[in-house]
Structure 1
Amino acid sequence: MRDGNTLFYWWEPENYEFGVDKVPLLFPVYNASEWAVGNQRTDQPPGYVGKLVSSNLQAKAPRVHTLIERFSLSTGMLEELNQLLSLSGISAGGTPTAGDDVVYRAACDWVRSSESLWRAWIPTTCDAGSGLVDAGGQYLLSRGDDAVGCSTCSSGRFSEPLLDGQGFIYRCAMCPPGTYQEFANQVGCNDCALGRFANETGATACSLCPLGTFADQEGRTSCASCGDNTWTTMDLALVSNEGSSDGGGRWIEVRGATSKDFCVCVEGRHFWQGQCELCLQGTTCLGPTSLRIDPGFFAFPEHPGNVFRCFGLEQRCQGGPPGSCAAGRSNQSLACAQCLPGFQAQADGQCRECAAADFAIVFGLCLLGVVFVGCLHASLIAEEKFASHGSQHGSLLNVALGLSQLVTCAQVFGVMRRLRIPWEASSWFMGEPFSLLLLTSEFLSLDALVYSFSSIQCVLPSSAVEEYLAGASLLPLAFVLSLILVHSAYISWRRSGLRLDSLAKTCGSFSMLFMISILSSILEPFYCNLHPNGDRTMQSRHDVLCNFRAEHLEICLAAIALSTVPIAFLSICVRIIVFDLPKRIQRADVGFVNACSFLVLRYRPGVEAFAVIVLLRNILVTLSPLITSQAGSLLLLCTCLYITFCGVAFWQPWRTKLATYTDLVMHAGSLLVLDMGKFYAPAAEDGYTLMIICIVASGIMLVWGTVVVLWAARHRFLK
């Protein structure tokens, strides 16, 4: 080849087995037109020859700079690659095509066999914002055999510097609780802002504090609680009202509270003495911090959540801020019950200053009582005279019996009013007539007369005990004094003896007629109203709590002592009817029979015992409001009326048929009112109470049926 002047190309590094003196051959500059016609005498088409430089490569791409810096291929390595290609069929001067796999297979084989060589070229010192990863792209916390490179830290992580035995490096650590990172390629995490928290690692965002909690510091892992489930977080939002120049405020619940100042009570509660108290019936919560008392209710300013209902005259409690009362009333008295000293209660709920007319009212009422007792005593004396002459005026008897039945019915209506059936809550057409009927009954049962004597408070202010004693004994004492006065005038005019039998007859008639009113006035400390706060107060004295303490205990003891009077009267009546009257009739004791005529003259001969039944009925009717369950009270009241209704229909005990029919009509009317009242009674009875009521009612029916069957059987066998 040396002697033949042969032209050839050579490659470096060479792998020839013979020595050749290589002389560079320079071709003319590439001529595209000659190459186009196939003349390739000029140099090959020029390829891209450039030098990649960077003025600050190490700062801009430190890992690339490290890779280039460590890259090193010796001549021996290149010769080894050429040998691999030669073995694969590619000569040293050959050019592999783009689709030839030989070169790529050879390269892969070399990579596999020379891993220890090229792995040293790859930089494992990650940049800030990135961290170590393994072959699967999973982040690593330490540099080891699994680390193959670096990757940008994702959101929820940050690039944390690490110094180990091989040098300084970065790893992608998760953001700790209380911090977050929403962006990738970051070198740190941000603390959660006020009102937010992050309780897990790797948070990409912080959560808002839920209702009832707050975060008043940055970087919180949890939110502080306002309290139990009675607390929430609210803010006062300003809302503009149309047509108004100023704006209003509205409390709305908010999440993400930033301080404890957002902690307020949930809707339906108000803040009082560090706790969230319920807004009871009769109050309106003005936002979570304060409340307003509704009209007809009362609360002391020092205990605004302790709400009382103003029973009776609701207008005396005007509502508004706690402690508000009508004009002239003392807000130091419970439920505005008392007027200020020197003031007198009015029908509109206010109190006015006492005037001379108040004393005239008291005097007029006293005079009216004397006239009433005089008429009653005179009518009984006249009836006695007619009976002594062997005649009895039927019309006068019917009037007297009808009047007594009407007064008794009015007293039963008065007891119904104590049951507090909410007639006013119904429609006017249904409820208002019954309310007016019950209100009218006060005048027939003398309750209005007793209440009218409250004018005496203008000159004699009394305590609760003194007022009770006056109310309980007012009617009997007024009657006794009036009777003594009238009877004294009568015996002076007639110039006769004392006539104690007439006095006994009038006293007995009065006691029989007004037994319900007298016993009701004695049992006043046990008639109580239930308030929204769970307390009970007397129906007649609204500022006395029914707790058997202090004044209420004294009143109860006085009531127990006074109750011996009607009990003694009942015992006397039973003794007279069962034992004494038959014997005295046999002896023809006219004086005794005349004194006891209030028991026997109203009923037919042979059924005088019905007077005791009516007396027992009246006592049970008076006791019915003492049952705490309204359903139980209605049951007892209806049972008493049904029993006497059936008794009147069966035995017809009244002396005249007209009186019997009148009594049946009044019974039916009373039962109708009670049946209507059941529809308005609140259905808030517990199951245990209703079960007891059903058992008692079933027992009464069973006993009554058994008695009737036994009586019928006995009557049949006696025949």
Structure 2
Amino acid sequence: MKFGGSLLPVATLRSPVYPSCQEEWALGEMIQQMSFYNMPLAFGTAIDKPNYKSINIANKGMLYAFEPDTTFIAQKPKIVRFPPNNAGEYIQGIYGTAKAGTILGNWYFKDLKAVADRAHILLGNYKLSQDSINVMLGDVVSVGDEDHWAGACRWVKKNKHLRRNWIPDSTTCSQGKGLVDSAGLLVENRSQAIDCKQECVPCLVGSYSAVPGSMACSLCAVGSYGSLKGLSACSVCGNGTISGKLRPTSKAIMVQGEEEWGTRMDASGECLPCGEGLKCDGSGKVMVLKGFYTAADSPGSVFQCFGDSKRCPGGPPGTCAPGRDHETIACISCSSGLSPGDDGACKPCSSGNSAVFSVAIILSILAIACVVISQQLSIFGQLKVNLGSPFSEVLDFFGLLAFNIEWLNVSCVASFSPLQMYATRVFLVLLFFVVACCIHLLYVALRKKFAEGLEISALVKVMGNLMMIFFISVAGAILAPFRCYAHPNGVHTVQEFGGVLCNSEGEHQQMLIVAGIALIMPVSFFAMASYVIIVELPKRMQKADVAFLRTWSFLYYRYRPGAAVISVILLLRNVALVIVPVIPGGATKVLLIILVLCVSILVTSFMLPWRILECNYMEASLLAGMAVLISMGSLFMEDVDVDSVMQVCLALFIDMILLIFGVFVWGFAKYLRAKHRKPFQYSLCHQKSGAGAFARLLKCELIRMNAVKGKVFVDCDDLQDLTKLFGYVGFDTEHLIILGTKDILTRKWCMGEVTTGRLHKVKTVVVALPDYEPPSETLVQEYQVHVPDVTELAAHGISLAAVQETLRWMRELPTIELLGTLDSKLTKAVCKELVVMHVSPGSMGKNGVQLSNEAEDELDEETRLVNRKAQYNGSKVAILVDYKNMEAVATALVLQLMVSPLLISSGGMVPYIMTANEEAMPTVQIIILPGLTVLPIIAEDGFRFPTKDFYDEVLATAGTTSMPGNPSHLAAVIKQVFQEIAVGFNPQGYSASVQDLEVRAKTIAFRLLGGKLRPMSLEDYQPTSPEELEANSLGLILPASKLTGANAQMISESL
């Protein structure tokens, strides 16, 4: 790039400079450079290239140009040079120096020198200055033919002296060639030579040359061999005939009458394949690589030094780190009186090694506070991932919780064989049991009240807690003989006891016998815990067996009520964590452990089993941390089967693709289903206090009808988030039913539902209860005055104007008016009308329907009595309700629907609802019928139990009201009614879900069938005045013990 001409403030702006162009033209850099060096310039740009050239030639100002280029070659522009590039300043956006240059180069064939040496020399001699290039370009411009090749040719003809220096002489030979005469024979004198010639020789055995004319041969690569001379490629070795880490020998050796490549000579003179971990230099010389071990008398049997590989430094066979016993397998043990050091060597025991016991015991006690994560870390340590310091030391410490007592340098205190060490680890937990028993016996012996006994339940709890704490440790220690390493020589050794071969013989066989005996502990504990939690616990809770619950509380006291089964699930998880390290294959182990941890996270997240909520979060976080830790640790694993990992990854990828496809298909199917049939066929919009029980009654009746195929939406059943209410109405509902009550028009959420239904064109109908009045225009105009918080609906996209428009729209909706007293027939008629007319505006011939039970009222007394007798059907349970309160009647009907299926098996116990003209009957029956029981049902939140003032009011109004008996007797009856424990059954409550009502219905059924309800009686009532005594003598109220069947029949008939 160049800037030429005088520094004149020229600005020629013919087209806009866009941001992308600014970056490409480096305007930002040039502006800073102008500022740094006080250059009075203005920027201009030409509309096209001809103008660009003419403007700059005419103005003779500073320009943006390239070289080499012919555009301004005749003007000979000068370059403005800035200080050399400062990369640090450019990173900070400071452009006071020149921009970094870009190297321009051509790629060429790397073996050009060997294939075409003269061309290579020509390119090496070719040098052309910038001035020469400018002269060639100037010649092209002066001639005017724009033929650059012709211009270059003219320049070459004029500069023969330069051309001769470029072209090499035919007798200038490159490396690998010699002088030859006209007959092609090699000569020593240049004067006799006319050319150069290359003489090729074949590559030796064990090497090859893939490129013709190469100056050297390459050795065969790892895993291949060359048995012939002059090869252009090597042959691939067969499986197991050569190490993947060593170069093959270039010499063939006879083995059992056949030639083998890549072999070496062992101590006995037999030719064997060079195994993994060995370096074979030929002539029987064998060197062991670092991290491997072979005995001096059998160098062909290679062991890999798992764990601390520094104990095997490599070298001649039989070499171990200082202080290691070279007679043990893989230098696993230290010599007598020595303990393992940090660098793989063994160091002399000191007094500090003995103190490790006490320190380790204290730290182990502290670690019990986080025993779960500690034992899981011990499982991670069993994977034998080669982690660096200090995390490897952390894992070694937590190995103590798996009873890995070798970390305590026990070799400095006593000498144990592998079998003795294993048995100690397995049965160490019994020491805790013995200590617990001793402490318990000492406590029993020292307390004052010795007669209380041994308290076996307390001892069982202590033993159980110990087993729960150390379950992973005990099971992991027992399975140690099953965790084996595979060495390069095909031999397997026990992971924790590297000197024991996994061959089910000798010491390993004895370990397996000990393991079989010790497995009785965890297996029996798991079986016992499962039986107690799954089988016995539900039975004992029903029987209220407190002693049993206290004895076995160690299994479930940490968890919330109803989540006791999580203890069995966690034990099963621990069993899986212990078994996984036994499975061969490092990648498989990591995959299975992560899978177990992920399942545990899901179980914890969904069940939330812990009694304290924060403990659930901590459990899930710790499990997630463990999964991440193991995932990161897997990067350090050496025992990885690449093919297996690839297959697992491919399977997981396919599963993810199938999952995505399945979710897509499911979502599309759901969309199609919702398009033709939405989840909720009906949605009941109601005001709780005015029609909550009636809404529940309508839902109960609608879902029993065959014509109703979908669900019926009621907020307390189907709504958990209030913000989703309008979404359910607008997108998931086919028909919206408005239960019109006195106050529904002033409830903002109800009006929000109706407005949403109108905006989304949901089919809507109004079921008008007796106190409902359609919205007047005055209410519409002054709606914000009556409902000030209606503006809160704006957050859901519903404006005041939309609500007002909805109020006017409600006047035109189909309306079902309910007249008279509510009963089951009227309810069914309403449901039938809703189904028949499909609640669609304009689908009916008329805009309103009136429904009532007047037909029943018009019947004569005899017909009505027959109908009542059919309804009564000999039932022994009657529901008394205030027929003046529609919500109370709806509650009674819901109660009848829910309780009847529970009592259907008990003859005569299915309840019926008394009609309005029977309202006075129960009060007298309570007084005169023997064995009559009453169960109070609380059906509304505002109900208050009668107080003394209420009874005083009853007695005070006795003279002004008509009562079927003495007021004092009535007050006594009311007192006895409410001495019975009442049951709450409130369908209109905000949290009255169907599940809650079903539980309460079961409670009522239990009270009626199995509960001991106290019979009503006035036997203990003593008249306090002559008037009361006279009333009794008239036969209005008789003691239950003296009431005969004839008297009862007479009184019933008189009623």
Q: After superposition, what is the alpha-carbon deviation per residue over 1:542-591, rounded to whole angstroms, capped at 9, x for unaligned?
A: 11111222221221222122112101000010011012222333343333
- Alignment pair present for 1:545 and 2:501: yes
Q: How far is 1:699 from its partner?
A: 10
* Mapped partners of 1:535, 1:450: distance in 2: 24
- Alignment pair present for 1:484 and 2:437: yes
2:279 counterpart SS class: strand
- Alignment pair present for 1:633 and 2:633: no
Kindly tell me the number of residue pairs found equivalent between the two proteins: 429
Q: How far is 1:326 from its partner?
A: 2.7
- Alignment pair present for 1:467 and 2:421: yes
Q: 2:627 aligns with which of 671, 674, 680?
A: 671
Alpha-carbon distance change, 616 to 695 in structure 1, aligned in 2, over 3 angstroms: farther
Q: Which residue of 2 aligns with 1:321?
A: 316
Q: 1:418 aligns with which of 382, 405, 412?
A: 382
The one-letter code of the counterpart of 2:481 is: P
Alpha-carbon distance change, 686 to 345 in structure 1, aligned in 2, over 3 angstroms: closer
- Alignment pair present for 1:409 and 2:404: no
Q: Which residue of 1 aligns with 2:511?
A: 555
The one-letter code of the counterpart of 1:322 is: P
Q: After superposition, what is the alpha-carbon deviation per residue over 1:653-700, rounded to whole angstroms, capped at 9, x for unaligned?
A: 110111011011111111212333455555853757865897799999
Contact 2:318 2:326 in 1 (8 A): yes
Alpha-carbon distance change, 331 to 682 in structure 1, aligned in 2, over 3 angstroms: closer
The one-letter code of the counterpart of 1:569 is: F
Q: Which residue of 2 aligns with 1:289?
A: 284
The one-letter code of the counterpart of 2:435 is: S
Q: How far is 1:518 from its partner?
A: 1.3
Contact 1:408 1:445 in 2 (8 A): no
Contact 1:264 1:271 in 2 (8 A): no
Contact 1:232 1:264 in 2 (8 A): no
Alpha-carbon distance change, 302 to 422 in structure 1, aligned in 2, over 3 angstroms: same
* Mapped partners of 1:589, 1:546: distance in 2: 50
Q: How far is 1:636 from its partner?
A: 1.8
* Mapped partners of 1:254, 1:702: distance in 2: 52
2:299 counterpart SS class: coil
Alpha-carbon distance change, 687 to 457 in structure 1, aligned in 2, over 3 angstroms: closer
Q: After superposition, what is the alpha-carbon deviation per residue over 1:325-384, rounded to whole angstroms, capped at 9, x for unaligned?
A: 233332111111223344444444334555666555546656887xx4xx9xxxxxxxxx
Q: How far is 1:274 from its partner?
A: 3.5
Gaps of 5+ in 1: 1-206, 213-228, 234-250, 376-402, 425-434
Q: After superposition, what is the alpha-carbon deviation per residue over 1:521-544, rounded to whole angstroms, capped at 9, x for unaligned?
A: 100011112223232211110111
Please report the TM-score for the alignment, with normalisation by the length of structure 1. 0.51
Alpha-carbon distance change, 500 to 350 in structure 1, aligned in 2, over 3 angstroms: farther
* Mapped partners of 1:697, 1:637: distance in 2: 19
The one-letter code of the counterpart of 1:532 is: P
Alpha-carbon distance change, 605 to 340 in structure 1, aligned in 2, over 3 angstroms: same
Q: Which residue of 2 aligns with 1:63?
A: none
Alpha-carbon distance change, 405 to 447 in structure 1, aligned in 2, over 3 angstroms: closer
Q: How far is 1:616 from its partner?
A: 0.3
Superposed counterparts of 1:201-600, under 5 Å: 211=205, 269=264, 271-352=266-347, 361-362=356-357, 372=365, 406-423=370-387, 436-437=390-391, 439-444=393-398, 446-447=400-401, 450-452=404-406, 455-458=409-412, 460-474=414-428, 476-495=429-448, 497-600=453-556
Alpha-carbon distance change, 676 to 318 in structure 1, aligned in 2, over 3 angstroms: closer
Aligned-residue CA RMSD (Å): 4.6
2:318 counterpart SS class: coil
Alpha-carbon distance change, 457 to 673 in structure 1, aligned in 2, over 3 angstroms: closer
2:300 counterpart SS class: coil
Gaps of 5+ in 2: 1-200, 207-223, 229-246, 667-678, 680-710, 713-993, 996-1055
Superposed counterparts of 1:140-159, under 5 Å: none
Alpha-carbon distance change, 696 to 624 in structure 1, aligned in 2, over 3 angstroms: farther
Contact 1:315 1:348 in 2 (8 A): yes
Q: 1:653 aligns with which of 572, 597, 609?
A: 609
Alpha-carbon distance change, 301 to 683 in structure 1, aligned in 2, over 3 angstroms: closer
Q: Which runs of 4+ in 1 moved over 6 A?
A: 207-210, 229-233, 251-255, 366-369, 692-703, 716-719
* Mapped partners of 1:414, 1:296: distance in 2: 24
Q: After superposition, what is the alpha-carbon deviation per residue over 1:206-260, rounded to whole angstroms, capped at 9, x for unaligned?
A: x999749xxxxxxxxxxxxxxxx98989xxxxxxxxxxxxxxxxx99889x9x99
Q: 1:620 aligns with which of 568, 576, 580?
A: 576
The one-letter code of the counterpart of 1:464 is: P
Q: How far is 1:624 from its partner?
A: 0.7
* Mapped partners of 1:666, 1:316: distance in 2: 34
* Mapped partners of 1:597, 1:702: distance in 2: 45
* Mapped partners of 1:281, 1:599: distance in 2: 51
* Mapped partners of 1:694, 1:264: distance in 2: 41
* Mapped partners of 2:352, 2:639: distance in 1: 46
* Mapped partners of 2:298, 2:226: distance in 1: 20
* Mapped partners of 1:667, 1:613: distance in 2: 15
1:308 counterpart SS class: strand
Alpha-carbon distance change, 537 to 575 in structure 1, aligned in 2, over 3 angstroms: same
Q: How far is 1:500 from its partner?
A: 2.6
Q: Which has the larger radius of gyration?
A: 1
Q: After superposition, what is the alpha-carbon deviation per residue over 1:458-507, rounded to whole angstroms, capped at 9, x for unaligned?
A: 56433322221112222x03322332344344445544653332222222
Alpha-carbon distance change, 423 to 330 in structure 1, aligned in 2, over 3 angstroms: closer
1:554 counterpart SS class: helix
* Mapped partners of 2:597, 2:375: distance in 1: 13
Contact 1:405 1:663 in 2 (8 A): no
The one-letter code of the counterpart of 2:371 is: V
Alpha-carbon distance change, 252 to 302 in structure 1, aligned in 2, over 3 angstroms: closer
